[in-house]
Structure 1
């Protein structure tokens, strides 16, 4: 696994998290988004930031792993996009007049499960190769 991919995705997630976080904090209320939806939006931005920082941390220590992490990279990438992206869509699409929440709603927990799976399998792989 090329750790440059983790660096790239980490930086993209952090930049998007900051931009979308600012949007959520300063703009959503002015266009009529309810407070609970703004809180949901904040959760999406938080997870973008958490996983961006996590990806940068993994990039910094990837050379220490005795195993391939490409699968975990893909799971973390896809899980974050599905989890945070579906939350953003659930908040923003109704404002734009698009009512597709029945389709998007189930994507959030699926993204969350993929995200958990990516980080958990990375932990398990590390524990299997851990030598104290």
Structure 2
């Protein structure tokens, strides 16, 4: 796996997390978003930043793995997009006058499960090759 992909995704997630975090902290209340939804929005931005930092960390150590982590990278990427993106949609679309359908709500936990799968399988793969 190319460490440049990890760096690119990590930096993109962090930049988006900071921009959207600032928007959540300074703008959402002014357009009438209630506090609970703003907290949900903050969760989405936090996970963008956490996984961005994780991707940057992986970029620094990926060369030390004795195995491929392409599936894990894809799971972390897709899981983060689905998890955080669905939270952003659930908060912002109603404020924009777009009616939320029942399809968007279940995307959040599916994204979370994909994220867990990516990080957990990376952990398990590492444990299988770990030599003390």
TMscore range, shorter length: over 0.9
Preserved contact between residue 90 and residue 101 of structure 1 (Cα < 8 Å): no
Q: Deviations over 1:17-63 (max 9, x none)?
A: 00000000000000000000000000000000000000000000000
Matched residue, 1:61: 61
1:1-132 equivalences in 2 (<5 Å)? 1-132=1-132
- Deviation of 1:101 after TM superposition, in Å, equals 4.1
Q: Secondary structure at the match of 1:67?
A: coil
Task: Give the aligned CA root-mean-square deviation in angstroms.
Answer: 0.5
- Deviation of 1:73 after TM superposition, in Å, equals 0.4
Query: Which consecutive segments of 4 or more residues in structure 1 shift more than 6 A?
Result: none
Distance across 1 between alignment mates of 2:92 and 2:99: 10
Structure 2: segments with no counterpart, 5+ residues: none
Q: Deviations over 1:77-129 (max 9, x none)?
A: 00000000000000000001111241100000000000000000000000000
Distance across 1 between alignment mates of 2:102 and 2:29: 23
Q: Secondary structure at the match of 2:66?
A: coil
Preserved contact between residue 72 and residue 121 of structure 1 (Cα < 8 Å): yes
TM-score for the superposition, normalised by structure 1: 0.99
Alpha carbons of structure 1 residues 8 and 59: separation in structure 2 relative to 1, 3 Å: same
Q: Secondary structure at the match of 1:102?
A: coil
Distance across 2 between alignment mates of 1:32 and 1:92: 11
